[in-house]
Copies of this chain bind each other. A is one copy, B any other.
């Protein structure tokens, strides 16, 4: 059905005896000259990032590194670790949880920002375009991804720092500005602050760096992956095997005890 050798196609890595080329560059050159964040950029985007972006690329991946057991992925990973599996299996189960409601907002917010940017371009005036678009979006989707946080309702230190480093690294700032305008529009529409959260801030920075919105979840995986891994390790080393949920956390709300109807019995 397929020609020889065309079953898998990849432009990421070439391998031969004693040689490994990642996006065309020798892996030892990357190890010698690039940071982890720059390597992340290269392996995803195919080209080297701007030299000035080194700090923001690492900061982007450090920003989401952990938030303790407040996030379900870490709780899940720790439960899985207690089942007596390999460290990587516990991590994988945590990573599996990073869906629509958990880090997935990066993806959604990036898409939102990219489309909104086009709208602003068409409309001309930032403020008006943003407000109109947010209104329309809220009507259709109910909420804008990347805004609002239960705990950090005010000044999430990660958001502030990420924006500061982004500016220091010479990013243009177009998407940062858009993000702040959306925040303003939301406050006006809702009548209360719905702050840019860490997902939204990571999304705005990722847009500045030119990442495809479909890479959004990978950014979070390699960021929160740090915390998920460290928590899994902590559970394996300090936790007890087969960690169960204590009785007092569970409320059974199902049917009371009942017998099988007589005609269901003895007929299997």
Contact = CB atoms under 8 A, between A and B. Distances in A.
Interface in A232-268: 232-234, 236-238, 241-261, 263-268
A120 interface: no
In the complex, the count of this chain's copies comes to 4
A104 B78 contact: no
A98 interface: yes
Given A10-B253, A96-B93, A255-B24, A237 B214 contact: yes
A16 B150 CA distance: 11
B251 A236 contact: no
What interface size band does chain A fall in?
Answer: 35 or more
A4 interface: yes
A97 to B, nearest CB: 4
Contacts of A162: 31
Interface in A204-248: 212, 214-215, 217-218, 220-222, 225-227, 229-234, 236-238, 241-248
A79 B84 contact: no
A261 B50 CA distance: 12
Contacts of A268: 32-35, 55, 58
A101 B241 contact: yes
Interface of A: 1-2, 4-37, 39-40, 43-44, 46, 48, 51, 55, 58-59, 61-63, 65-73, 75-80, 82-93, 95-104, 150-158, 160-162, 165, 212, 214-215, 217-218, 220-222, 225-227, 229-234, 236-238, 241-261, 263-268
